[in-house]
Amino acid sequence: MAAISAVFTIARVADMLGEDEDLLHEVSLDMEPEDGVLWIYGIGGEEVLAFTAFGIENLRDLIPLYKKPVPGP
């Protein structure tokens, strides 16, 4: 496995994929660091969700599962 050389914030990934940040956050709850998701901690308690390139690939695969329509009555 290649070393991680860059990560992309959730806002950047949402823009790249044309998706809502809230949806990406929901999807990320089922992901582990091994899946390419991580938190970046800054000063003053700042926290930013970020994804590696592998994490973005995983998001692309998972997003359709979260967008399936719920059957109606």
Residue 1 has pLDDT above 60, yes or no: no
Average pLDDT over residues 45-64: 96
What are the φ and ψ backbone dihedral angles of 47, each rounded to 5 degrees? -130, 135
3-state helix, strand, coil in the chain (%, to 5): 50, 15, 35
pLDDT for residue 70: 66
The helix or strand, by DSSP H or E, that contains position 41, with its residue range, turns out to be strand 37-41
pLDDT for residue 67: 83
Q: How confident is the model at residue 37 (pLDDT cuts 50, 70, 90)?
A: very high
Report the C-alpha gap between 20 and 47 in whole angstroms: 18
pTM: 0.85
- Which residues, listed in sequence order, are joined to residue 48 by a DSSP beta bridge? 40
What are the φ and ψ backbone dihedral angles of 48, each rounded to 5 degrees? -135, 130
